[in-house]
Structure 1
């Protein structure tokens, strides 16, 4: 797989189901806050987006020095892999960026016959691994891991850094961000692109051991966010109750969409998020995606040879968009 599978569609005018974008717009408070800052955009933000940095630290209950903010979490992930990704261990299938940017990697495969579930207590890390990556909730299937075994893993493998990517933690799953001050080998990355609907604002952050956080803050732009982006992020984080309510609504749409696909003979796998894996076998995902794009639906095949040619990750659209997607599928299948 290549992370390029995650790109594209920015100018597509139909239904976009390929980027795990939230179909709901930013909350009203975020839009208003961003608009209010536009006239002040001739000025920089506070260095290192200090108000947002402090807000994040306070919400997790950690020292502010452990937080690093940047323009999207992908940039942070690339920098962490550049520093620590000599020998990586992945739980696959995973976010396609990771196999691409790891210098070399081993893998623990999550199996479709187990609905891609896995007990982290059974995770074995190969000798010499510099970075082990756990995505929770996992992308591309949307399932979560029980994170209770995490402290034991951190103790068992003190020479391995564990990166927990919590890009979708606003939707489901147990966060381990509060454990970072206790474990020097734990790193956590997050984004406001997904549950918080701020993908276009490009706000990502990481909770890191002090030395690593200092390293990234020292070697990055001191003004990583625009004023509207920072304002939208601050406003959104002040209304997590709304984000949780929207997440429940998104998941309901996702479950309904999965049920409609199953009625068409498509196998779907359990999810706690607003996306899921679907196996269209015996149909070829590349051919289906091409046919769907002609009908105004932009989706891409998973491109994972281990799983086979029938797999696609499906993201919910708004209900009317889902109805159009199902109708287009019905004609193709």
Structure 2
């Protein structure tokens, strides 16, 4: 079993600021679509979630054959790392799952003195790397990469697969999903758990080269999603205009929260998502998190050895809950 650094809190009823969960519920159309499918739950969905695959194909402009759907993107990431994760290169700090499931890995460090920004044209991939991972927008800091240099990297390192994890692409950033058909070493993963507020429905998908997509689809459950999950996903993707409006609201909440922390003397880093990194130096983030838990506020330290003990990723809650969080911090600091 891997660590629970990104897990937990399912039964927690206080304020949760740690899991990158969207504080907004699913849109009304998704809730109604899921509710309509519940009486039909004695029946399977269409094999391989064909209606959802068709819709994703239409929206991304890639052939339906290249799309793999599963119950959450974490499962897909594990499948890809099992196949390709012999030697992985990461842009760190990154999603904590990746170091855990890589058989072996190297890192290019993103630096706080540069606000965790990095020019991908300067990326050097070590010899023997089987899989290079770019998270865009990046987790845990929420910044984006200029993806213009990606085609050059794909051409330069043809023996390396490049996985672009677009879990938060609904918040910001340049998607490269449409480029997958042109490059046999480009993989893109996405989830509807983040900007689309469907974490509890467990819907993820990947856009992959044909051979890899065929492999994952052939070895997967023919019915990867529950009927309610598939219906909620389709309804949400059919209302992307609402998702974009909500994304703007969430970014505003996160900016306001970061400003409140800055006023308390906490350094925060630029983000284009609804979460951001905070440096509580000279305080210990673990001690702060434990004190906050006693006040029914759930958050965890980043625990990145190279950054030290003062870092914490902060996810916006609603404005009201954010003010409770800030008030509790004010007492502690």
For this structure pair, what is the TM-score category when the shorter chain's length is used for normalisation? over 0.9
Cα–Cα, structure 1 residues 152 and 3, in superposed 2: closer, same or farther, change >3 Å? farther
Secondary structure of 1:313's aligned partner: strand
Partner of residue 83, structure 1: 83
For 1:113-152, what aligned pairs fall within 5 Å after superposition?
Answer: 113-152=113-152
Is 1:176 the equivalent of 2:142? no
Partner of residue 257, structure 2: 257
Tell me how far apart the structure 1 counterparts of residues 6 and 279 of structure 2 sit (CA, whole Å).
Answer: 18
Tell me how far apart the structure 2 counterparts of residues 135 and 57 of structure 1 sit (CA, whole Å).
Answer: 22
Is 1:65 the equivalent of 2:65? yes
Q: Please give the per-residue CA displacement for 1:199-255, whole angstroms capped at 9, x wherever unaligned.
A: 000000000000000000000100000000000000000010000000000000000
Partner of residue 316, structure 2: 316
For 1:148-167, what aligned pairs fall within 5 Å after superposition?
Answer: 148-167=148-167
Tell me how far apart the structure 2 counterparts of residues 86 and 245 of structure 1 sit (CA, whole Å).
Answer: 40
Partner of residue 287, structure 1: 287
Partner of residue 215, structure 2: 215
Query: After TM superposition, where is structure 1 displaced by more than 2 Å over at least 4 residues in a row?
Result: none
Partner of residue 306, structure 1: 306
Secondary structure of 1:4's aligned partner: coil
For 1:89-108, what aligned pairs fall within 5 Å after superposition?
Answer: 89-108=89-108
Deviation at 1:3, TM superposition (A): 4.6
Q: Please give the per-residue CA displacement for 1:113-136, whole angstroms capped at 9, x wherever unaligned.
A: 000000000000000100000000
Tell me how far apart the structure 1 counterparts of residues 318 and 152 of structure 2 sit (CA, whole Å).
Answer: 41
Is 1:243 the equivalent of 2:226? no
Tell me how far apart the structure 1 counterparts of residues 3 and 50 of structure 2 sit (CA, whole Å).
Answer: 31
Tell me how far apart the structure 1 counterparts of residues 4 and 182 of structure 2 sit (CA, whole Å).
Answer: 36
Q: Mark the runs of 5 or more structure 1 residues left unpaired by the alignment.
A: none
Q: Please give the per-residue CA displacement for 1:72-103, whole angstroms capped at 9, x wherever unaligned.
A: 00000001000000000000000000000000
Q: Please give the per-residue CA displacement for 1:15-38, whole angstroms capped at 9, x wherever unaligned.
A: 001100000000000000000000
Tell me how far apart the structure 1 counterparts of residues 166 and 285 of structure 2 sit (CA, whole Å).
Answer: 28
Tell me how far apart the structure 1 counterparts of residues 190 and 101 of structure 2 sit (CA, whole Å).
Answer: 18
Q: TM-score, normalised by structure 2?
A: 0.99
Tell me how far apart the structure 1 counterparts of residues 268 and 56 of structure 2 sit (CA, whole Å).
Answer: 35
The count of aligned residue pairs is: 332
For 1:186-197, what aligned pairs fall within 5 Å after superposition?
Answer: 186-197=186-197
RMSD of equivalent CA atoms = 0.6
Q: TM-score, normalised by structure 1?
A: 0.99
Tell me how far apart the structure 2 counterparts of residues 259 and 156 of structure 1 sit (CA, whole Å).
Answer: 41
Partner of residue 6, structure 1: 6
Tell me how far apart the structure 2 counterparts of residues 332 and 219 of structure 1 sit (CA, whole Å).
Answer: 51
Q: Please give the per-residue CA displacement for 1:285-323, whole angstroms capped at 9, x wherever unaligned.
A: 110000001111000000101001000000000000000
Tell me how far apart the structure 2 counterparts of residues 103 and 329 of structure 1 sit (CA, whole Å).
Answer: 39
Secondary structure of 1:164's aligned partner: strand
